[in-house]
Amino acid sequence: MLLPTYKDIANAAAVLAGVARHTPIETSRTLDDQLGVHCFIKCENLQRMGAFKFRGAYTAVNHYLNGVDGKELKGVLTYSSGNHAQAIALAATKTLDIPSTIIMPTDAPALKLKATQEYGGNVVFYDRYKEIRDEVAEKVKATLPEGTVFIPPYNHKYVIAGQGTVGKELVEDLQSKSITLDYLFVCVGGGGLISGISLAVKELSPKTVIIGVEPEAGNDAQQSLEQGQIVHIDTPKTIADGAQTQHLGDLTFEIMQRNVSKIITVTDEQLVEEMKFIGERMKMIVEPTGCLALAGVRKLVSRGEIEKGANCGVIISGGNVDLERYCKLISSTF
């Protein structure tokens, strides 16, 4: 599949108009005072189904509405630990009345599993620590009707294009107020969000430095960019379940090589600290993965790598976390 371009992102924005939410950009004077920079926080936790993933899922499903290899679209198959699962079920089944089959790990967060099922997704379980999900997907697809299309969580042209609309909105909204970002921090799992955003940002604000943030326990993207090849790792054990990917995709990796300045890592403890800050000071419940970017900003500021007064974009990717787990995490000690 060909790499997406900025034109694909602009087309995705048109597809998503009136379907996805144009999410707000929030600021915090307390945060800016603590860090000595200006943070502009794009709140994808307020997106439909609680995460940015709806954008890519709907864009991709919409692409296949005219058929798959000459056949009528009969269904959608994917795998996901939660947010893409919900997004596909909502976009395909709940919104467009197309059957969806979702392969989810047995330890998927209960809230994400419940929402996926309530949106109409047919869930098939697998053990992410013992089974390879691509192999599971091949077996499941063989049981589904012809005309079923597989839409992966990140390594897909139209998924990436849909996610890129996050960056398009952020930059355009800030430019309308004469604000230019010096840095943009984005969480990294499989790379769909950061690669899509990077295409939009390099088109609209080419001097903005794009920095990816991933869990310390799962730094495959960091290793991949440093080594110049896709690095595969075992499923990382981290509270950031949305970033428990084992490797980047070939599409996302190529885009990231071109556009992302570097990847940094943060600890689970740092993620919990940002969950607390966002909850206490900004009055939002955000899942651990959604806190990666802000934790990254704080880390680089503490190291003196971000100049005082810099304009920093921060993507909160999602807010889907069980309340019981949320309470345990913010009360935990490491």
Give per-residue pLDDT as tens, 151-194. 999 999 999 999 999 999 999 999 999 999 999 999 999 999 99
Classify residue 32 by burial, with Cβ atoms within 10 Å: 0-12, 13-18, 19+.
middle
**C-alpha pair distances (Å), 146 with each of 208, 210, 313:** 44, 41, 43
Q: What one-character DSSP code corresponds to residue 316?
A: E
pLDDT, position 1: 67
Q: DSSP alpha helices (H): ranges in the chain?
A: 6-16, 29-35, 53-63, 83-88, 110-118, 133-141, 157-175, 192-204, 220-227, 250-259, 268-281, 292-302, 323-331
Known catalytic membership, residue 53: yes
pLDDT bracket for residue 82 (50, 70, 90): confident
Inter-residue long-range contacts of 132-140, CB under 8 Å, 24+ positions, other chains counted: 133/79, 133/103, 136/79, 136/103, 137/77, 137/78, 137/79, 137/103, 140/77, 140/101, 140/103
Contact 220, 232 (CB under 8 A): yes
Residues 6+ apart with CB under 8 A from 59: 12, 15, 16, 158, 159, 161, 162
Q: Which pair of structure tokens corresponds to residue 13?
A: 């924005």
Q: Which of 42, 80, 81, 168 does the annotation list as catalytic?
A: 81
Single-letter code of the amino acid located at 63? H
Strand partners, 262: 211
Unique residue bearing structure tokens 């080419």: 206
Tallying the residues shown for the chain, one arrives at 334
Beta bridge partners of 212: 186, 263
Mean model confidence pLDDT for the chain:
96
Question: How many CA atoms lie within 13 Å of 263's alpha carbon, on the beta-carbon side?
Answer: 26
> Residue 334: is its pLDDT beyond 70?
no
- CB-based contact 83:111 (threshold 8 Å): no
Could you report how far apart the first and last alpha carbons of the chain are, in Å? Answer: 44
For 183-196, the pLDDT digits (tens) are: 999 999 999 999 99
Is there a catalytic annotation at residue 81? Answer: yes
Give the other-Cβ count within 10 Å of 229's Cβ: 10
Per-residue confidence at 81, pLDDT binned at 50, 70, 90? confident
Instruction: Name the nearest CA neighbour of 198 among 44, 46, 6.
Output: 6
Measure the CA–CA gap between 3 and 121, rounded to whole angstroms.
Answer: 29
Tell me the per-residue pLDDT of 193-242, one tens digit each, with 9 for 90 and over: 999 999 999 999 999 999 999 999 999 999 999 999 999 999 899 999 98
Tell me which residue has tokens 């909105």. Answer: 169
pTM of the entire predicted model: 0.96
Find the catalytic residue in 42, 53, 157, 202: 53
